[in-house]
Structure 1
Amino acid sequence: MAARALTERLRTESGAALLLVGVTLLALVWANSPLSGWYEHLWELPIHVDVGDLRFDMDLHHWVNDGLMVLFFFVVGLEVRQELAIGSLRKRSQRLVPLVAGTLGVIVPALVFLAVAGHADPHGWGVVVGTDTAFLLGVLALVGPTMSSQLRVFLLTLSVVDDFLAVGIIGVVYSEDVRVAPLLVALAALGVLWLLGRMREWRSSPYVLVVVVLWGATVQAGVHPSIAGMLAGLLVPAVATRRDDVLQAKSLFRDYWQSPSASVARNARVGLARSISVNHRLHDVLRSPVSLVVVPLFALANAGIDLRGGALGDALGSVITWGVVAGLVVGKLVGVSLGTWGAIRARLGALPDGVGPGSVLGGAALSGIGFTVSLLVVDLAFDGTPAGQAATVGILIAMVLSALLGWAIFTVARVRYGEASADLPVTLTPAVDPGRDHVKGDDDAAHTVVEYLDFECPFCARATGMGAELREHFGDRVRYVVRHLPLEDVHPHAYLAAVAAEAAERQGRFWEMHDRLFAHQSRLEPDDLRQHAAEIGLDLGRFDADMSDEALHARVRADEASATASGARGTPTFFLDGVRHRGPHDARTLIAALEANEDDPALRRRS
């Protein structure tokens, strides 16, 4: 149990950050101990791999940096593709501010480094361009606002842009002696990945095979494979889960329940895999090994610098050290803050809801933690020279200073400017009004479940049957309330369907229309709505008049305004006893959350 609890703790962002800190300290202690010789010999261990006429001849240190770290950049590429396809980079208004901030967060630090240390070694400017996403989010969890989900999304988007540019710089600036033939093979592998995506190949094995070929060709070409990992991740398709695929998987699992055999189990596994995009499946498989094994191993291999014999004093007296510190601590803070402010002033977008300027400044300070990418560039730019030791010391100093500066800014923002949170609201606003809201259940029920829904949403409670499971479990101890949140950008018929439900309410048939609309989600055109009204026995003349009544449209818009005020941005969003539920929304999870509220009277009936 203790080992499992520790593993779960390490899987969190703060736990992963603490693990990296611990491994970094271990590397420093080991490299400066009487066992330092073992440390050096370990990473110099030669490992040869022959594949036909190809020979991969690297020491263990390079196998970690040029081999395992490709998985890190591949995961980053997968995340970028997810954000572009269905996440925070999907909309222009959402991506432009972090795009500008991330770009200036690369340019300004490089200029600061060149201004401070360019005369000593201009080749090292790439050390300060990258932000360590894992460390950034981990330290944010430790020193940032208690609730910082929206700030986290903003910083994740910014760091995605940062990582993309940094990897491009590594691949272009720090690659030497490029060989044409393997490079052409690498380009062909990228083309095959693109074709696999276009062909909607759902199996992960073809992608994995091509990525391995891409890595090998990139290494043989003399280009740093980090860029191959990033580009490969970008080419693996990410799409939202479709309801039809989920229903197909459910049908296959029902077959297995009725006939548990190996062949039926295989079909169920295949159906489940096909319902989730290959991007999400690969990301889920690789995320934990990368954060818990690959990145810590990279830190162990690269953070161990020998500071004995005056080396620390030499590093502290080196302009390279302070160029790196200035670039990361000052350059990142100024670049990200200036980019954010400039993009907002140019009306390219706005800050996420709930995120104040103090939180942005705090996040900009934390972006000066450049650990992973920075150490990788040190290895490429300085290749074990004293300047490389100085740069590594600068990275470690910048990591500490950036964390302390971020903590100080967050503290000032909270105490002086009241920015105690950087997240969406969590309290239902306004509270449930039985005279206005659509309520199923007793007003004196112990629990209240409010769902913001969209009649085209394939995963809302009525569509999945989850609402019925809640009522079956709790009986008259729960009341169920629905409010409208039509997502018109993705569900063009949802708004008129919501108005139709309100028109049915005027004739006392809201719940009949509610059930029928969810049962016929593919038929929500205006003529379909009239047919649904006729099927449940509404007066069509009155229904038509009510559909044009501005008061009903205002009623739907009022629900949308309450969703905004309550922090609901998608469907389904649930409020349990007046508090927004975050995380999975399956029936078992919601039942467990409601039962947990029974042990805390302060959380009950907050609706």
Structure 2
Amino acid sequence: MAGRDSLQAKAGLVEDGGSRSIISEHQRRRLERRSMLENVTSNGTISACVMILAAAAAVVCANTDAFYAIHDWAMQPVAIVVGGWEFSLTFELFVNDFLMAVFFLLVGIELKYEMTVGELRRPRQAMLPMLAAVGGVVMPATIYAVVNRGGAVYGWAIPMATDIAFALGVLSLVGSRVPPAIKVFFSTLAIADDLLAIAAIALFYGHAPHLGWLAGAAVVTALLALLNRRRHFRLAPYLALGLVLWFFLYQSGVHATLAGVILAFTIPARSDIHAGSLVEWLGSKLPELDDRFDDEAHILGQHDFTHAVRGVERVVHRVTPPLQRLEHYISTPVNFVILPLFAFVNAQVRLVGVDLGALVVDPVALGTYFGMLLGKPAGIFGVTFLLVRFGLAELPTGVQWKHILGVGILGGIGFTMSILISGLAFTEIPAELLAAKTAILAGSVSAALIGLGYMQVACKKCA
């Protein structure tokens, strides 16, 4: 048997002059390429740009002859057939109700992360941005409701949502001049904003619930909670029950995307391994691996060694909490497939043959646009000012009032949630849906451009 020095040298644990690597040069280059790809897919600015391009492509296609082909494609049913049982959705509903449930799953993971180890676990520190988020929800909704009093007031929640991915992507364009505390403040505010938007969808934009299906959803939720309580750390049972939960909620009349949030909050955020003892345990395993390794034998013939390694692999794999593993699995598909697809399917704003003058003065368009562009900064800045003025909170270190105003302007970027809510509010009213979507696109672009320009100036002295 080879000695420990030989094995450790091959693992790169000690230097032997040339210090051979644990992997081949080809494998090293492949891992480097994978690392570069992960850096790209984890970049919020890039994912926001992809979604913007998808929305822009949708608007262009909607105003050409391609609109009819795309519309027919979106109305095609996606069917699941098991024996004599069939369940079908149009492709548009598949995107909006099923794929967006995966997006809500990612939102729920982010919420749980913040409540476990982030800013939301410190009530005093989180209070200011969370209450500012409440102001940023109430003021836009109020502006919309006032403009549409006696009319299409049911769309009051459309301008209240902030698109966290889009907004943080725009903020990142300002670069390192943005004080770190501002990014934390804005992230916490946007997450709280998402939570309020989810609550609005659940309470006001579902259909009359079917109690039988709702009871089934409650039973599935209880089973998920039981899995968590029994400290079950494999993802497969959670995901299987999550699919059942989605189906029950869809049949119940409650918006099925909420299944994603419920599922996220039941998946364990703890590790199945006592991480504090891991290093010591791995150290105790090294002599066993060393004794079983034969430097001269082919790896296929070293059954004792590979069996011992599999035992270590199983333990190391379980160090990462299931919640974190799931986030790693779905974040790239959500940001680069689901959200761009949602944007393309839902940003089909066809203006051909539309009276633009009437569209511009439509109360739904006015309430949505000014709710986003004026209501957001007024609500966020106003609540923050009152809390600080009356000594109930303090501005984070390094944050000035000009930064809070910039956060308020960028908070007006409301794309994903706003379009989703507009579709729920005006499903049967195409004219109002068109007005809402047009205003959402115009308001988001306006808030992004104004907010970016303002933050470039406001943060100039912070460099």
Structure-2 separation of matches of 1:77 and 1:286: 12
Residue among 188, 210, 215 paired with 2:246 = 215
Larger Rg belongs to: 1
State the aligned residue count: 418
Residue among 391, 394, 399 paired with 2:436 = 391
Question: Partner residue of 2:216?
Answer: 185
Question: Partner residue of 1:78?
Answer: 109
**1:285 is aligned to 2:329:** yes
**1:406 is aligned to 2:451:** yes
Residue among 297, 308, 313 paired with 2:341 = 297
Structure-1 separation of matches of 2:213 and 2:397: 48
Question: Is contact 1:170-1:226 (8 Å) kept?
Answer: no
Q: CA deviation at 1:295?
A: 0.6
Secondary structure of the residue aligned to 2:88 is strand
Secondary structure of the residue aligned to 1:269 is helix
Structure-2 separation of matches of 1:205 and 1:252: 31
- The 1:217/1:252 distance shift into structure 2, 3 A limit, reads farther
Q: CA deviation at 1:340?
A: 2.0
Q: CA deviation at 1:231?
A: 2.3
Question: Partner residue of 1:30?
Answer: 61
- Structure 1 length normalisation: TM-score? 0.64
Q: CA deviation at 1:104?
A: 1.6
Q: How does 1:417-456 map to 2 (within 5 A)?
A: 418=461, 420=462
Q: CA deviation at 1:248?
A: 6.7
Question: Partner residue of 2:407?
Answer: 363
Q: C-alpha deviations, 1:250-292, integer Å up to 9, x for none?
A: 4598466765755444433321232121111111211111111
- The 1:253/1:372 distance shift into structure 2, 3 A limit, reads farther
Structure-2 separation of matches of 1:314 and 1:49: 43
Structure-2 separation of matches of 1:338 and 1:102: 11
Secondary structure of the residue aligned to 1:89 is helix
Kindly provide the amino acid, as one letter, of the partner of residue 43 in structure 2: T
Question: Partner residue of 2:93?
Answer: 62
Structure-2 separation of matches of 1:288 and 1:29: 26
Question: Partner residue of 1:329?
Answer: 373
Kindly provide the amino acid, as one letter, of the partner of residue 186 in structure 2: L
Question: Is contact 1:256-1:268 (8 Å) kept?
Answer: no
- The 1:407/1:249 distance shift into structure 2, 3 A limit, reads farther
Structure-1 separation of matches of 2:278 and 2:400: 39
Question: Is contact 1:86-1:238 (8 Å) kept?
Answer: no
- The 1:195/1:34 distance shift into structure 2, 3 A limit, reads same
Q: CA deviation at 1:166?
A: 0.5
Question: Partner residue of 2:199?
Answer: 168
Question: Partner residue of 2:261?
Answer: 230
Question: Is contact 1:299-1:372 (8 Å) kept?
Answer: yes
Secondary structure of the residue aligned to 2:80 is strand
Residue among 339, 347, 358 paired with 2:383 = 339
Q: CA deviation at 1:157?
A: 1.0
Question: Partner residue of 1:13?
Answer: 44
**1:204 is aligned to 2:249:** no
Secondary structure of the residue aligned to 1:33 is coil
Q: Provide the identity percentage.
A: 31
Question: Is contact 1:358-1:409 (8 Å) kept?
Answer: no
Structure-2 separation of matches of 1:328 and 1:253: 59
Question: Partner residue of 2:279?
Answer: 247
Q: C-alpha deviations, 1:534-557, integer Å up to 9, x for none?
A: xxxxxxxxxxxxxxxxxxxxxxxx
Question: Is contact 1:9-1:15 (8 Å) kept?
Answer: yes
Structure-2 separation of matches of 1:207 and 1:154: 32
Question: Partner residue of 2:20?
Answer: none
Q: How does 1:363-382 map to 2 (within 5 A)?
A: 363-382=407-426
Q: C-alpha deviations, 1:32-85, integer Å up to 9, x for none?
A: 112111111111111122457864321000000000000111111111111111
Structure-2 separation of matches of 1:313 and 1:245: 69
Question: Partner residue of 2:183?
Answer: 152
> Counting helix residues as a fraction of each chain, which structure ranks higher?
2
Structure-1 separation of matches of 2:454 and 2:383: 18
Question: Is contact 2:170-2:452 (8 Å) kept?
Answer: no
Q: Which moved more, 1:209-218 or 1:148-157?
A: 148-157
Secondary structure of the residue aligned to 1:57 is strand
Structure-1 separation of matches of 2:129 and 2:316: 35
Question: Is contact 1:252-1:268 (8 Å) kept?
Answer: no
Secondary structure of the residue aligned to 1:48 is strand
Q: How does 1:557-596 map to 2 (within 5 A)?
A: none
Question: Partner residue of 2:141?
Answer: 110
Structure-2 separation of matches of 1:53 and 1:223: 26
The runs of 5 or more residues in structure 1 that have no matched partner are 422-607
Q: Which moved more, 1:238-247 or 1:120-129?
A: 238-247
Question: Is contact 2:140-2:372 (8 Å) kept?
Answer: yes
Structure-2 separation of matches of 1:8 and 1:290: 16
Kindly provide the amino acid, as one letter, of the partner of residue 195 in structure 1: L
- The 1:90/1:252 distance shift into structure 2, 3 A limit, reads farther
The runs of 5 or more residues in structure 2 that have no matched partner are 1-29, 294-298, 300-304
Kindly provide the amino acid, as one letter, of the partner of residue 363 in structure 1: V
- Structure 2 length normalisation: TM-score? 0.83
Q: CA deviation at 1:414?
A: 3.1
- The 1:91/1:300 distance shift into structure 2, 3 A limit, reads same
Question: Is contact 2:206-2:255 (8 Å) kept?
Answer: yes
Question: Is contact 2:135-2:379 (8 Å) kept?
Answer: yes
- The 1:192/1:345 distance shift into structure 2, 3 A limit, reads farther
- The 1:341/1:245 distance shift into structure 2, 3 A limit, reads farther
Kindly provide the amino acid, as one letter, of the partner of residue 108 in structure 2: G
Question: Is contact 2:59-2:350 (8 Å) kept?
Answer: yes
Kindly provide the amino acid, as one letter, of the partner of residue 71 in structure 1: V
Structure-2 separation of matches of 1:23 and 1:66: 19
Question: Is contact 2:178-2:459 (8 Å) kept?
Answer: no
Secondary structure of the residue aligned to 2:157 is helix
Question: Is contact 1:48-1:55 (8 Å) kept?
Answer: yes
**1:350 is aligned to 2:388:** no
Secondary structure of the residue aligned to 2:394 is coil
Q: CA deviation at 1:342?
A: 2.6
**Bigger relative contact order, structure 1 or 2 (CA pairs below 8 A, ≥6 apart):** 2
Structure-2 separation of matches of 1:337 and 1:184: 42
Kindly provide the amino acid, as one letter, of the partner of residue 243 in structure 1: A
Structure-1 separation of matches of 2:284 and 2:375: 55
Question: Is contact 1:11-1:292 (8 Å) kept?
Answer: no
